[in-house]
Structures are given as C-alpha cells and as structure tokens.
Chain A
Amino acid sequence: MDAQFQIAIDEQFISPICEFTYNWCLNCGVNDEDATKFTIALSELVTDIILFAYPKDSNAHFEVSYRHTLSNVEIIVSEVGEPFDPDRHRYNSEKMREEGDFEGAGFRLIRRFCDEFVFINKGKEGKEFHLSKEIDVQRIDKMIERSRAEKPEEPTAEEIEKPGLQAESFNYPQVTPFDAEDIAKLIYRTYKYTYSKEELYYPKKIEETLLGKEKLGVITRNDDGLAVGYFAVLKNSDSNIAEVGEAVVSPGYRKRGIMSNMMKRLIELAREQKIAGLYGKAVTNHPVSQKVNHKYGFVSTALMLADTRNVVFSGFDEDYPQSVSVVIDFLPLFKPKKVRVYMPEKYRDILSETFTELNIPVTVKDGTRYKMAKKSDIELTINYSDSTSLLVVKKYGPDFVTVLSDMINSLKEQEDLNAIFLDLPLQNAATPQQFNKMEGLGFIYSGLTPLFHQQSHYLRLQKVYSDLDLDLIEVYSQFGKKIKKLIADEYH
C-alpha cells in the first residue's frame, strides 16, 4: 500500500485528492495523458460518492487506498453508504439527447479511462471500487514473466566466456541504485530482446525500487566490470518476508556456480536485514526453480493452481496447454516465536506437518471460544494480468460467510478469473468454525502461507475456475508431492 486517505463527504476535497492522484500516477511511471484520464475516473467516482452515497449523513467518510506494481497502478475506494450497483446506472445517450438526463455518464467515463474497473459488493459491509491502469511497460513485464517461467538453457561452447574464472573468482556485492542500468542491460543481453525505448525506461524503474528499499539484491561482475549475474528478492508490503524474484546469469557464465553463490549471499544479506523468511513462487511446468529452492533449504508449503497465465514464447514450452500452477517454497531465516494456531480439523494433519517441516514452533489449540469482530475485514487484491485474486481475512464478523460469498460473486460476475485464493488467519480462534461454515463455497486446500501477513501464519485455500490436468503439474519435493496429492483428491 502506497497511501491511504479517509475523506469526509465534502466536495472541497475532490481537488486535493485529484492532485495527489495525478502526481502519484506520474511518480509511478504513468504517462501524463493516462495520469489525467485515471485521475478524472477517480474524480467521477468520488463525486458520485459525495453526491449520492450518504444522503442522510453529512459526517460520513470514505476511504481511498493507493497501490502500484512495476506494471500497474490501482486505487481502491471503499464506502459503506447506501446500496448501489453501477451496472444499474448505465449511460443512455438517447435519454441524454431527449431529456438531458446524464445518469451514468460518470461511470461511462470511469470505464473508458481505466483499464479495469471492478465493483465489489460486500453486502452490509459496504462496497469497494477497484480502478486500475496499466503502466506502459508490458513488454518488460512479459520478459520478467518469462524469466520466471523459462527453463535455463545450457550455454553453447561458443558462448562460454572466460572459462578460467570460477564462481569464487567473482564478487557478490549488494546492488545499489547505481547498478540499475547494468542490470537492465544484463537482462536484455541475456534474453536477446531489442527494447529500444524501454532500455531507457526500465533502469529507472529498477532504480526506484532500489531507492525505495523494496528490493534487496546482489550483482556479479567479471574482472572487466561487466555485470554477468543478478539476483534479487522483493520485500512484502504487509509482512517482514521477501519473495525471491528476478534471477539472471549471462549464458556465457552459467554452469559454474554463480547462481548458487548469489543465492547464498542473498540469504546472508536478508538475515543481516532481519528479514524473517524468504519464499519463492516456483513454476510447475518444469522443476528447475523448485530444485534450486530446495538446495538452499526451502520447504514446499503450498501449491497454487492456475496462478499464472500460460507464458508462450517461441521455442519454449509452446505446448504447455494450461495456466501455470506454482509451488510456494518457504525458508525461515530465524526461528519464529512459538504461537498458538487454530486449525480446521480437516487440514490439521497436513498443516501440522508443514510447520514441522519448516521447524516453526506452534501450539495447536481448538477454537471453541472466541470473540467475533463487529465487522468482517477482508482485503482483496486482484491480479489483472494473471486473472487471479487474493482475499485475505483480517477479521471475522458475524456475517463473514455472506460477505465473502458476495465478494466472490461480484468478482466472478465482472472478471474472467482462473482462480481465487483465500488466506484465513491461523492465529485467530474463529478460523476453525468459520471454515466449517464456508462449506459450499467451493474452496479447496492450497497450503500454508507462513508469516505472510502481519508476521502471522495463514491457511491458504483456493477456488479454481480453470480446467487443469494435474498430471502436467511437476512438483519436485516429497513433501510438495504430498500437498499435491491432497489437493488432487479435492480438485477431482
């Protein structure tokens, strides 16, 4: 989350919030024209809320939250005003001509000025509007996707450079913003792309993430100072863990242990920075990334079905016929303090075993006595490029299942999703009973997401809409295979 505002129902706040939005878009790399349009979309929505959401409560407030990734900006507007459905207020140009009635004009502009506009009805707990705009770096985004999914190629004899230099001959310093351009060049060289414009653009994005301390990485240079390897983790915004992200070694320098040394150095650096754990989302269309993770002590804790769209590139995995599922591999960097966890009976064995595998101490309690929150709090993130969404339960209110069900229905009506993932808080005593009430919503097991939100452990469930052949999902570790078997039994 970049920023969050609570705003009074007062028209004088429209301009300040628009000014912030416009400048924030520019800072995130959105071009001027798109920043203007996206801001107008927000202006329309905010105006509508101010005019119509709270006709009898002039002291009411609504919330606007901002978040961005390398490839998109997203604004989430939440309010608990009168029930409303934008689909019932469609703009009718004939009515406008005949009667001068502009009802729905604002929503037409919102839809045209955003790449995605999703309305989530949370029933009694209000509404959420998700406005999203892509940043014009799609080809770079695809390249990163490719780097995640691609099976590393063996260098040819001609490609091998400076064979005398072994992994130990290189230094592995922490990357700094000054390395941004070299990293971009290395990635382009390695993937043999010709990105004339983006070459100038991408280093800036790398630099920003390094300056913002979102990224922690190491870079390897040869004796001429040329960057030949790069490996980085991306810090999570809502917990003290980091995701193993971009990794690249120039083809001429592969097969001599550079990647391994970078991983070791990265683990050291993460420990020095007191990061609690590292995780990787390893693709399952080939086992290479999983093997690397396990070599360094990562434990498979979850299998997320249909998590990424199938990445098809010429000469590579063209035949993989389905969305790519991923294994979550987790490495605790410190032994977490022992906490009480409340597990649904159905998954008690597998979750307990996963904690044991990870060597994370927990005390398993039953959740017969608990106090509900006044309202449910479920955070929704939509991954537009992968067609998935993640719901994280922060609090259970008395109408939790209804709210969850309303949110899923809203999502499904508007987005063609491959899968919805749901994280339930294992340190909340209400989880076992609320889980039992969710029967019928169609969720199956995904796994354990240790320390994933607010330094707490979560049970990840999944609802899969995509048709999958589970035999095509390659899981490397024995324990991962056990998780896959349980999921396969439920999926079929």
Chain B
Amino acid sequence: MSIIESRKSNSTLKVKILNNFNLLTRNKIESRLTKEIKELEIDLSHCKLLDSEAVIFMYHWNKSGKELNLINPPEILFEILEILELSDIWQLNYTETKS
C-alpha cells in the first residue's frame, strides 16, 4: 500500500500523505525530491499521526530557503511545535480546506 501520492509540476512537488507522517514517509518524500524542486506542498488532510521526524524534515526544508505549504495540518502539529519551542521562530504556511 502506498503511503504517499506525489506529483511534480515544474519546480513544485505536491505530496499527499495517505496515512502517518513519520521516518518512512520522510524518506519517501526525500527520495522524490530533485534539485529542481524549490517548493513543496504537503497535503495532510488524511494524516492523523505525525512525529518529530516529520517536523524536523519540514523545518530543515523551509529553513534552507525553499517554500513549504501545508494543507489541513492536524492540530497535533501545532502542539508539537509548541513543545519543541518552534512556534515563535518558524512561521508555517498552511491552508485549511476542511470545514
């Protein structure tokens, strides 16, 4: 069973997380990143569990000057950011499409 779906379009990689965002998911996304990719869009609409591997990956990606957009991040992500004291230093771009 796939754990992500991804689609490249010019310099953007759009990723849909189908289950959890963890070490395996991170590695899968990394394997699809090429030099040309400057923007990463991650759809978390179906992601319930997300751990520090996911957060660290996204943080490093974003802090390296590349763009990151999240769609429907789960509430727990923001709690993890608080716990790791990232909330004040990392402005996440995200869109809520769920009602």
Contacts and interface: CB of A to CB of B under 8 A. Distances in A.
Contacts of A109: 51-52, 80, 83-84
B49 interface: yes
B83 A108 contact: yes
A51 B22 contact: no
Given A36-B48, A108-B83, A15 B63 contact: no
A473 interface: no
Contacts of A50: 23
B76 interface: yes
Contacts of B51: 40, 43-44, 47, 106, 109
B49 A40 contact: yes
A44 B51 CA distance: 7
B22 A96 contact: no
A39 to B, nearest CB: 6
Contacts of A105: 52, 55-56, 84
B85 A93 contact: yes
A44 B86 CA distance: 18
Nearest to B89: A97
Interface string B39-81: 0000000001111110110011001000000000000100010
B4 to A, nearest CB: 12
Interface string A44-55: 100100110000
Nearest to B22: A14
Nearest to A108: B83
Most buried by A among B22, B55, B60: B22
B27 A11 contact: yes
A14 B52 contact: no
Interface residues of A, number: 27
Interface string A27-51: 0000000001101100110010011
Nearest to A10: B24
Nearest to B20: A15
A118 to B, nearest CB: 20
Given A15-B3, A93-B84, A102-B56, A22 B23 contact: no
B19 interface: yes
A2 to B, nearest CB: 20
Contacts of A435: none
B80 to A, nearest CB: 6
Most buried by A among B50, B52, B55, B86: B52
Contacts of B27: 11
B76 A40 contact: yes
Given A11-B24, A15-B24, A47 B53 contact: yes
A12 interface: yes
A93 to B, nearest CB: 4
B24 A14 contact: yes
Contacts of B89: 97
A18 B84 contact: no
B84 A14 contact: no
Contact of A12 (B24, B60, B83): B24
Interface string A91-112: 1010011001010011011001
A93 B59 CA distance: 14
Contacts of A106: 51-52
Contacts of A47: 22-23, 51, 53
B23 A11 contact: yes
Interface in A320-379: none
B20 A18 contact: yes
Contacts of B56: 102, 105
B20 to A, nearest CB: 5
A93 B89 CA distance: 11
B24 A36 contact: no
Contacts of A12: 24
A42 to B, nearest CB: 9
A36 B49 contact: yes
Interface string B4-38: 00000000000000011011100100000000000
B76 A36 contact: yes
A91 B49 contact: no
A62 to B, nearest CB: 15
Contacts of B86: 96
B71 to A, nearest CB: 19
- A-B interface, 8 closest residue pairs, ranked by CB to CB distance from nearest: A93-B85, A11-B24, A43-B51, A105-B52, A11-B23, A102-B56, A47-B23, A106-B52
Interface of A: 11-12, 14-15, 18-19, 22, 36-37, 39-40, 43-44, 47, 50-51, 91, 93, 96-97, 100, 102, 105-106, 108-109, 112
Given A44-B51, A47-B23, A105-B56, 20 more contacts: A11-B27, A14-B22, A15-B19, A22-B49, A39-B49, A40-B49, A43-B22, A47-B51, A96-B86, A100-B59, A102-B52, A102-B56, A102-B84, A105-B52, A105-B84, A106-B52, A108-B84, A109-B52, A109-B80, A109-B83
Interface of B: 3, 19-20, 22-24, 27, 48-53, 55-56, 59-60, 63, 76, 80, 83-86, 89
13 contacts: A11-B27, A14-B24, A36-B48, A40-B51, A43-B22, A43-B51, A47-B23, A47-B51, A47-B53, A93-B85, A106-B51, A106-B52, A109-B83
